[in-house]
Structure 1
């Protein structure tokens, strides 16, 4: 089974800039996909629970996804519960997207610190 995200190990050299930029682009595409699906789900939720028009539902979903809050007041109890859960989901998604986008950068920085120029460490024994 192929891993979704794979990085080089400590014993391998730091990858080239081309591979690094490819990782950044791949993670940006994943992030864009997550945001698009979340925006679609949010707009569908507003249409279903609040009976909003498509444009208003899209605007409200994008505002909550951007952590700014809804544009129009919510009228139904179902819409209020949906908006609350969607806001919590959006906050967690923000953290996840940030982590996904910064993972290649942090890995490259940490890998540079840990890569051995001349591997002089003796092999470790298993206990």
Structure 2
């Protein structure tokens, strides 16, 4: 009786499994890109609404500040109140983690495929 191969909920193929066909790999990369894009939009939304509410600046300036903080560039407008400064501080901490995590999510399937290919070639 042949052994059944275990199925798991792991998002990537195991080292003993075949490399994912290229078309399926592209779909995987697009899914990860979509997730990252939605998360960045969500993060920008938090920052834009927060800057508009706490710093009392226009929507465009709030979006500008949120975009620059999210990418690590720094704030543009002076924060007029303590609440605005606290929001800006916490948003900056969140943004540092969010942006770097998003980069990791985008490159995860690419790095996995590269390592998988190298591992398969090593066994040949």
The question of a shared fold, defined as TM-score above 0.5 by the shorter chain, is answered with yes
TM-score by length of 1: 0.84
5+ residue gaps, structure 1: 120-127
Give unpaired runs (5+ residues) of structure 2.
1-7
- Rounded to whole Å, the distance in 2 between the matches of 1:95 and 1:14 is 27
- What does 1:27-42 align with in structure 2 at a 5 Å threshold? 27-42=32-47
SS of residue paired to 1:10: coil
Distance 2:31 2:115 in 1: 20
2:119 to 107, 111, 114: 114
* Aligned counterpart in structure 1 of residue 75 of structure 2, from 50, 65, 70: 70
Residues 69-100 of structure 1 show CA distances to partners (whole Å, capped at 9, x for unaligned) of: 11111111011111111111111112101110
1:8/1:77 CA distance change after superposition, 3 Å: same
Question: With structure 2 as the length reference, what TM-score do the two structures score?
Answer: 0.85
| Cα distance in 2 between the residues matched to 1:47 and 1:9 | 47
RMSD of equivalent CA atoms: 2.0
1:113: how far off? 2.6
> Which structure has greater helix proportion?
2
| 1: CA distance, partners of 2:13 / 2:26 | 15
Give 4+ residue runs of structure 1 displaced > 2 Å after superposition: 113-119
Query: 2: distance between equivalents of 1:118 and 1:64?
Result: 45
Query: For this pair of structures, how many residues does the alignment match?
Result: 117
Q: Paired residue for 2:56?
A: 51
